[in-house]
Structure 1
Amino acid sequence: MAPAITLAAEAPKLSAADTGFMLICSALVMLMTPGLAFFYGGMVRVKSTLNMLMMSFISLGIVTILWVLYGFSMAFGADKGSVVGWTSDFVGFSGIDKMALWDGYTIPVFVFAVFQLMFAIITPALISGALADRVKFSAWAVFLVLWATVVYFPVAHWVWGSGGWAFDLGVIDFAGGTAVHINAGAAALGVILVIGKRVGFKKDPMRPHSLPLVMLGAGLLWFGWFGFNAGSWLGNGDGVGALMFVNTQVATAAAMLAWLAYEKIRHGAFTTLGAASGAVAGLVAITPSGGAVSPLGAIAVGVIAGVLCAMAVGLKYKFGYDDSLDVVGVHMVGGIVGSLLIGFFASGKGQSDVEGLFYGGGLDQFWKQCAGVFGVLAYSLIASAILAFLLDKTLGMRVTEDEEVSGIDQAEHAETAYDFSGAGGGVVGTAAPALAAKQSKKVDA
């Protein structure tokens, strides 16, 4: 996704087709954030549903403004020491002409900027699933501002910005295995180690309140992910985007089936939650690797990620960290798996001629992937833990125990997701008392 170097005589011209395609892809990626909200919202208990939805939706507002003001400049501006970018014309989008093209591509700078904005929005929203039930909404909003500024914008530059250290090293991350998923998963782990467990963790049942909502969210994520992945090539001229589209579908299907098979063997049932989680694990794992592997390689990536992520979600009970909705187990582990497998399954016939171990390329690319994976993981985990610690000591990150037990929706938003009282009226609400009276008379007779 970084600009390519081209000769002046080869300077591309604006392509209406590529521009339209990228605007559609941007809209698809935007849809993923509401999809994530539904996915997470269905996985929590009734009393936390609205808070979970809002933790995703608020990212749409906050990160959008930050991106325009300075985020795009930090992520994709001129390199400053291989760590961060900065271009004054990008600040406030003040110096961008509507017809200016992103360097080396056939789409306007505005189109590239808005496409990348959607990535910046969903990445911190992913973290929220690990913090369900217990974080003040105001503290979460401040955390979003700080985390996007201190962690996401610089890491995006490392991975995708020309001059970023991971980019220059040759780390392959087609659409966000390191910059998005490992980054968010490591951040989630850092924050929950600071704020602690939910009241009743490992004691009270904390089952999803609406599995249909979870499946709806997973379906929207799967749908939007085609824009997330295929759009990341920024054009359609050489077939790489098409390869990524195919691999996205293939790996997701394989991971879902692998998760379900593991679940059946391990727990004796095929669950809808397992199907949804397996699909997301496959989407995560193919995100960094889909432009480098073949469709057969995508099946391998999906199967391996499905099984390993299914195994990883149980680690929170073994090690005692309360990752509410398995952000660490799915996003961090899935991102690691997908990124490292490039070192084995890269075919040399996709986005570049880089070959992995199984295609005769040795372990050179694998070690590069390790550097990118563990560099991002360590920085995000430590920086996120520090931010959470500072906020907890100043604003306070958690709601009170009474508010958590009674329900964070009512405490933080003065609303509830569902009205069980029937006070809203309607045919059922108004007819029920009369119907009950008639039935009572029949019984008495």
Structure 2
Amino acid sequence: MSNIDTAFPPNLLPDEASPEWFNKADNAWQLTAAALVGLQSIPGLMILYGGGVKEKMGCEFTITWGYRMSFGSKLLPFWGEANVALDQEYLLDQAFLGKFPNATMVYFRSVFAAITLILIAGAVLGRMNIYAWMIFVPQWLTFSYTFTAFSVWCPDGFLAKMGLIDYSGGYVIHLSSGLACYTAAYWVGPRLTKDRERFPPNNILLMLFGAGLLWMGWTGFNGGDPYVVSNDASLAVLNTHLCTATSCLLTWVALDIIFFRKASAIGAVQGMITGLVCITPAAGKSQIQNSELLQEVDDTMAVLHTHAIAGSLGGILTGLFAEPKLNRLFFGSSGHYIGLFYGFDDKSRIGSGVRQMGVQFIGILFVVFVNVVTSSIICILIRLVVPLRMSNEDLEIGDDAAHGEEAYATWGNGERQENSFYRGSINPKMELSVSTNRAARQAEKT
């Protein structure tokens, strides 16, 4: 057997490793952007949320059946045909957009699916049953995420054909995750009263470190969506950081000082996330100078506010400020992609600007409907099989301790809390605390 035969797999000769359509620079940047998005999830969001969310099923879902349902052949106007994305011939073929192989696109899109899941987890941290979560993940990805991804991002999707502008996931990632997490939080129920009354971060330095990884990782989140090393990618990255800095430092911190008389690190992080999400739908479509029931449900990390609402606002502002020249740069032709304000400037395109605003609102309504309905159905079905919510005993000691792990040991000489399923081995101090709280609840009932 020759060296060529051993160095390359069947049907892939050396001169075919870089076919005519293949662009090495674009491929290298796309892989880098995907790695940056991956760092946003683990360790970024994992550190920011305080640990405990180690869900990697997003990647497995994507490469097995989810990618083709999101970006493959059309089955329905809002859904693609289910098919695996592991076939070598398919992976080495050119992606539907970009001068790189499907393998790169599958990787890039898998990290987007994964981070969406972790965002959802942020609203039910510390109280959703782990078994219920393991059932929820593949069901939601299959019957909710693929609907919005295909409809908005796939060229055959009905919202894409209508001209919806969602540059990098304001609708597909942030509005979807914000609504799904809020719906799931409703069905799971709130935290314990004492946790809702006082829920300070256990380590602000770690929180800021995670937030910094999230911010820097957003360079790949928005910069990778032109699928090409271009002026548009550069503009998207610059817009991302400028909008985030404005939201974090000039707006949110200023509001903290005005209303609470002091700046807050937690407030700055919330402002940072809001800015990142808000610019996402329009990162490469707007000029730099244009970048600018809730009490009833327990949303632990305020994902609805910082993602769903910010994502919706970003989508609406995109309909106002989408710049025709930049749309032409991204879509190949401006067509009917034009912000309402630019439509007013060009009197002949006022109708197109009004239409764009309508499409942006239709997209919001579609994502709201899909996520509220599917998330509710999934949660209702899951609780027929396993409890959605952790037991009160496990809620008392915390979800990490319930699984025999402790992020921070706060008693003794650093020993860890034993698994809550084995009550006899629970740390005596914690045993007393749980028993006391249980007795107090029983006294209240009687």
If the length of structure 1 is used for normalisation, what is the TM-score? 0.82
**117, 121, 127: which is aligned to 2:120?**
127
What's the counterpart of residue 117 of structure 1?
110
- Listed one character per residue, the Cα deviations across residues 205-257 of structure 1 (whole Å, up to 9, x for unaligned) are 111111111111110001111101010111024x1111101100111011112
Structure 1 residues 172 and 370: alpha-carbon distance in aligned structure 2, compared to 1, 3 A threshold:
same
- The residue number in structure 2 matching 1:431 is none
Q: Paired residue for 2:179?
A: 186
Partner of 1:251: 243
Cα pair 1:201 1:322 within 8 Å, conserved: no
Q: Is the 8 A contact 2:320 2:341 kept in 1?
A: yes
Deviations 1:111-166 (A, max 9, x none): 01110111011101101111122111121121111111111122111111121111
CA contact (8 A) 1:98 1:109 kept: yes
Provide the C-alpha distance between the structure 2 equivalents of 1:179 and 1:79, rounded to a whole number of angstroms. 18
SS of equivalent to 1:130? coil
2:37 to 15, 29, 38: 29
Q: Which residue of 2 aligns with 1:75?
A: 70
Q: Of residues 306, 311, 314 in structure 2, which corresponds to 1:330?
A: 306
Report which stretch shifted further, 212-221 or 389-398: 389-398
Secondary structure in structure 2 of the residue aligned to 1:80 = strand
The 2-side partners of 1:355 and 1:23 are apart by 30
Deviation of 1:265 (Å): 1.4
* Equivalent residue pairs, number: 380
**8 Å contact kept, 1:346–1:356:** yes
C-alpha distance in 1 between matches for 2:261 and 2:37? 35
Q: How does 1:31-430 map to 2 (within 5 A)?
A: 31-34=39-42, 35-41=44-50, 53-55=51-53, 57-58=54-55, 60=56, 62-86=57-81, 88=83, 91-97=84-90, 99-200=92-193, 204-237=197-230, 239-256=231-248, 257-298=250-291, 300=292, 316=294, 319-352=295-328, 353=334, 354-359=337-342, 360=344, 361=350, 362-411=353-402, 413-421=403-411, 423=413
Cα distance in 2 for residues equivalent to 1:335 and 1:201? 31
Check conservation: 1:96, 1:110, Cα contact below 8 A. Answer: no
Report the alpha carbon displacement of residue 97 of structure 1 after superposing the two structures with TM: 4.6
In the alignment, structure 1 segments of 5+ residues that lack a partner are 1-10, 42-52, 301-314, 426-445
| Counterpart-to-counterpart distance in 2, 1:97 and 1:83 | 22
Task: State how far apart, in whole Å, the 2-side matches of 1:369 and 1:126 are.
Answer: 23
- The higher-RCO structure (CA 8 Å, 6+ apart) is 1
The letter of the residue matching 1:160 is: W
Give the partner amino acid of 1:415. Answer: E
Distance 2:326 2:74 in 1: 27
**Matched letter for residue 399 of structure 2:** I
Question: Is this contact kept in 2: 1:22–1:231, CA < 8 A?
Answer: yes
Whether the 8 Å CA contact 2:37–2:218 is kept in 1: the answer is yes
1:17 maps to: 25
Structure-2 separation of matches of 1:127 and 1:14: 36
CA contact (8 A) 1:181 1:284 kept: yes
Tell me the amino acid that sits aligned with residue 283 of structure 1.
Answer: L
RMSD of Structure 2 on Structure 1 (CA): 1.9
Distance 1:21 1:92, change over 3 A: closer
Query: Aligned partners of 2:305, 2:171: CA distance in 1, in Å?
Result: 15
Percent identity, aligned pairs only, is 30
CA deviation map 1:178-212 (0-9, x unaligned): 00000000101111121211110686311111111
The alpha carbon displacement at 1:95 in A equals 4.9
Change (3 A) 1:341 1:201: farther
Greater fraction of residues in helix: 1
| Distance in 2 (alpha carbons) for counterparts of 1:295 and 1:195 | 41
1:99, 1:22 → 2: CA distance?
A: 15
Q: Which amino acid aligns with 2:22?
A: L
Distance 1:196 1:422, change over 3 A: closer
Q: How has the CA–CA distance of structure 1 residues 103 and 382 changed in structure 2, closer, same or farther, with 3 Å as cutoff?
A: closer
The answer (yes or no) to whether the contact 1:24–1:227 under 8 Å persists in 2 is yes
1:428 corresponds in structure 2 to: none
In 2, the alpha carbon distance for the partners of 1:126 and 1:111 equals: 23
